Amino acid sequence: MLQRKAMRLDSMSWFGTPRCVFAAMLAAIVTNTSAIQHTDQQHAKTGSRVLPGATNSTFRLTKAHMQQHVLRIRLRSRASNIRKLPQSLLQLGAAAAENPAIRGPPPESIVGTVYVGMPPQELSVIFDSGSGNVVFPSKLCNSMACISHRSYDSSVSATRLSIATPLRPRINGVETVIPAGAQSLQLSFATGTMAGVVVQDKVCLGADETICSTTGLIEATKMSDEPFSLLPFDGILGLGLPNASISRNFNFLDNLAGVQAMASNRFAVWLAIEGDDEDSEITFGEISEARFESSDLIWLQLSSTSTMGLWQTSMNDVAIGMVKMHLCKHGCQVAFDTGSGVIAGPSIFINAVLAGLNVMVDCANFDSLPTLGFVFGSTIFNIDPADYVRKTTSGCYHQFLAYDLPHSTPLVLLGAPFLRRYYTVYDSTSLQIGVAFSKHKASTKPGETSAEAATR
């Protein structure tokens, strides 16, 4: 599955330069507050730094790290009854989701639990690397979307502090000047809207407060019914980098680093597949070597041009059946997105991939479908048809989403179809993403072990 550039790749004709348009339609309309100035603090960074090509071993605690922790959180997969695939805080346009080719059984969201305030309030969240803010429905919210979920009650939390709304919040990595005098923050998510106030409180991973940090968060006081009332989780825990947050003190990962809460400033994601008979897992502070097949990780450096705070890197091309498509003649940018259930990108890019794959809805050619590879430098990360096609009794549905939004950064999102096949590590100290073939109890091909799949 994971191929290094040892073999010659034949080329496939390319029809058009990809116009990768990122669909983060976050627009902040803030109506408030007294003038304040935020000074970004330089956070201490701890933990091991792993350079490209280096083998990562289990982190060993030293005396300096005795109060730092690692934590594994079992994630549960909850099927939603929503008819459209919600993407990374619903940042993808609603119109694109109308494509009948991606319809099929309901999507699944990978959900975990966090504990907020004191005494701790238990809330379910989606761990989303494609966003940078922490959002919970407020107890004061009367919207149906809030009533249908557990809410955060800041009035009973002894650790809650009132803070002023940032006057220059970052939206898609760009500081936005807001008018003075208003009292709420409104966010638009393409398919819905949310209004709320900002507060500061303690957010913990683990019921025993294993890893905690005081962080700024958005307490939603109004949420549109669609799509929020249909989502199978209470809130969102953004795991993006600081530029993905409205202000640096709202970035949960950065705040954890500031108090040296973790043994290493990284988290890792392993998504279960059918046949694993166990839940998916997100690990904070360490790498779980038992979750991947290869002896080391392949490290990808984050793009220096990225200003949106995403886990974004450069991709050289896409290959179908090991044949390059030449869709990235001028370079492609991709983001690893744990909050996305599909592989998404500009229509010219996605349509070219779909034309090359030729997935038939009646499943007539499912057994002969090719692998789909993502080329990073000298390495090709392949995924199987079972990864990018959802096969059901009613038909075969590809897991791709085409979208085009104006005035956005060109970007392809690698969501669950890729992340189920590859174990990924997100290191905020070295600003790298580690990728390795995931270890599963079974392969996507009958009679093949996970180890055997990793070698082809």
pTM: 0.79
Cα torsion for 66, 208, 120, 211, to the nearest 10°?
A: 30
- Comparing CA positions, the residue from 301, 378, 303, 296 lying closest to residue 53 is 296
Place of tokens 């500009």: 346
Q: Tell me how far apart the alpha carbons of residues 283 and 17 are, in angstroms, rounded to a whole number.
A: 38
- Mean pLDDT value of segment 12-18: 23
Of 352, 301, 343, 359, residue with least CA distance to 324? 352
Compute the distance between CA of residue 355 and CA of residue 95 in angstroms, rounded to an integer.
Answer: 21
* Banded pLDDT at 450 (limits 50, 70, 90): low
| CA nearest neighbour of 26 among 187, 195, 176 | 187
Per-residue model confidence as pLDDT tens digits over 43-90 = 333 333 333 333 232 222 222 333 556 766 666 554 433 333 333 333
Is 427 within 8 Å of 50 (Cβ atoms)?
yes
End-to-end CA distance of the chain, in Å? 5
Residue 21 has pLDDT above 90, yes or no: no
Q: How many other β-carbons are positioned within 10 Å of the β-carbon of residue 360?
A: 14
Report the range of poorest mean pLDDT among 164-178, 239-253, 332-346, 438-452.
164-178
Q: What is the pLDDT of residues 400-440, one digit of tens each?
A: 998 876 656 678 999 999 999 999 999 999 999 999 999 98
The tokens for 255 are: 């705040």
Residue with tokens 């909850």: 78
Percent of the residues in the chain that have a pLDDT greater than 90, as a whole number: 43
Q: Which amino acid is at 396?
A: C
Return all residues near 407 (Cβ < 8 A) that are at least 6 apart.
Answer: none
